[in-house]
A and B are shown apart, each in its own frame.
Chain A
Amino acid sequence: MTSKLIEAKNITVRYGNNVVLTDISFAIEKGDYIGLVGANGSGKSTLVKALLGLVPLEKGKIIYNDLNKFEHGIGYLPQVAVTGNTLFPAEVREIVGIGLLGQKKFPKRLTKEDHFKVDTILTRLGIIGLKHKKIGDLSGGQQQRVLLARAMVSHPKLLILDEPTSALDPRVRSDFFNLIEEINKVDQTSIVLVSHDLSSIKRYTRKMMLLDRELVYFGPSDEFDLNFGMAKGMHNHEHDY
């Protein structure tokens, strides 16, 4: 069996008259840790949405080799903190349980075993103590971990993290990167981490993918030239750490 989880072949995405991605081809392999970088408007989020099947492709195709997209072969941590509404009436365990619904048939009831899975992932991410807390009462870093738990609870083969640390302070950000690195190494979960923060992402990932509406670079992180990335309108936030 191929070790390629996903293959993107010559994909092009267009929003109206605006071509956002042009002729992009790459493969994500088992155990990969890919940093997806690019300036604002370079097509990072669109590429993520294409991988998740949320936007139609104008050309090309995406082949899901060794995972079933809908039965949660892919875990996804969205860019925007969706729980900004402090009145949102849900406990942490309820939010994390959502991550298991993709595997369920009508009427999609969570079983005792599912609740055990939720407890296990909360323990693993060090937030079991927050299980009965209301999501809106948590700090930004805690909420991010809850959403990571939601993405991970179904044991996906691929985790896509869209700018996961942009709202976190530097210390929490560093903890978060360490946690993702551990998940990648211990579970062999493939990771695609989207960021506009070149230096930190290069430090943790093994491969880099630079987008500028087309694929500018895709290869080993240690061969990726930071100056080249900055020439493409990226920033170096090294001073944050």
Chain B
Amino acid sequence: MSMIIDTITEALSYGFMQRAIIVGVLIGLSSAMLGIFLVLKKYSMIGDGLAHVSFATVAIALFLNTSPLLISIPIVIVASILIMELNEKAGIHGDAAIGLVSSFSVALGVLLSSISGGFNVDLFGYLFGSILSIQQSDLWLSVVLAAGVIFTVIFFYNDLFAITHDEAFSSVIGIPTKRRNYLIATLTSVTIVLGIRVVGTMLISSMIIFPTVAALQVSKSFKSTIVISSVISVFSVIVGVLGSYAYNLPSGASIVMINAVVFVSMMGYKRLVRS
């Protein structure tokens, strides 16, 4: 027991670990709180799609010789709105719309990086996350993001609940469904861009899907799903990051594995209760 405490104390003495845990917890909280609205509206894979868009934005940033974050956030927000518009205006289903936007983005990213002479960034870190790359600016952006998500979910809770259940009915009773959807899309985009630093392009969608789907196994009400998924997400980030330090493992993959273990446990618990 004392060995575990010593390891945790040692890990937390490093600035990069402190930043990783704070940013990870804030991103985990944001993605879990947004997750229920995305998963139940069948936009689960939007995280994956937007992460691919983010890949293209890194190439664009390198091409233009500017900061990836400044380019990523606005472009990923536009892409998320485009996915929703394709769904609404062109009648293309959510999964197909995500597929279109994400594959186009990867192709664009590859072409641009080829034109600009290839990537000179740590590709592995970008694909699977690198807590060493988390800057102080990421930390402050994460604080703003998490505050925005918590404010949105608390103050627009009933609107978002109604839209998630039945969008047509929500429009009929005067809820501004389009504006609320754009709000969720914008917050999701920022969550993805920042979350990529922690778990990487390949794994970011798990931060949205796992905690929500795990919570859905045991929750009965909408509010309790949000609370349970937030607890699962924060727990997975803390255990994942500390575990990755203790055993010298990749942090992003460790977070996802803890999420997966929790999900399987919840499914097992549900089956046990039913039988």
Which A residues are closer than 8 A to B by beta carbons?
52-54, 69-72, 74, 76, 78, 82-83, 85, 87-91, 94-95, 97-99, 101-102, 104, 106-110, 134, 150
Interface residues on B, range: 20 to 34
Are A90 and B168 interface neighbours, CB within 8 A? no
Contacts of A95 in B (CB 8 A): 165
As a 0/1 sequence over residues 136 to 180 of chain B, the CB contacts with chain A under 8 angstroms (1 = contact) are 000000000000000000111111011001101111111100000
Q: Report whether over half of chain A's contact residues are helix, strand or loop; otherwise say mixed.
A: loop
B225 in the interface (beta carbon within 8 A): yes
Nearest CB in chain A: distance from B246 CB, A: 35
Contacts of B172 in A (CB 8 A): 52-54, 74, 76, 102
- Determine the distance from Cα of A233 to Cα of B120 in the docked complex, in whole angstroms: 66
As a 0/1 sequence over residues 212 to 223 of chain B, the CB contacts with chain A under 8 angstroms (1 = contact) are 000110011110
B224 in the interface (beta carbon within 8 A): yes
Checking B165, B174, B175 against A90 with a beta-carbon cut-off of 8 angstroms, the contacting residue is B165
Checking A54, A71, A98, A109 against B162 with a beta-carbon cut-off of 8 angstroms, the contacting residue is A98
A-B contact pairs, 22 of them (CB 8 A): A53-B171, A54-B171, A69-B174, A76-B172, A82-B165, A82-B166, A82-B169, A83-B165, A89-B215, A89-B220, A89-B225, A90-B222, A91-B220, A98-B170, A98-B173, A101-B158, A101-B173, A104-B158, A106-B155, A107-B154, A107-B157, A134-B220
Report the number of A-B residue pairs with Cβ-Cβ less than 8 Å: 79
Contacts of A76 in B (CB 8 A): 168-169, 172
B40 in the interface (beta carbon within 8 A): yes
As a 0/1 sequence over residues 164 to 202 of chain B, the CB contacts with chain A under 8 angstroms (1 = contact) are 011011111111000000000000000000000000000
Are A99 and B173 interface neighbours, CB within 8 A? yes
On whether A101 and B162 interact (CB within 8 A), knowing A52-B172, A78-B169, A87-B216, the answer reads yes
Chain B residue nearest to A93 in the complex (CB) = B221
Are A98 and B219 interface neighbours, CB within 8 A? no
Are A88 and B165 interface neighbours, CB within 8 A? yes
Contacts of A88 in B (CB 8 A): 40, 165
Contacts of A107 in B (CB 8 A): 154-158
Contacts of B222 in A (CB 8 A): 89-90, 94
Contacts of B224 in A (CB 8 A): 89
- Determine the distance from Cα of A111 to Cα of B149 in the docked complex, in whole angstroms: 24
- Determine the distance from Cα of A110 to Cα of B220 in the docked complex, in whole angstroms: 19
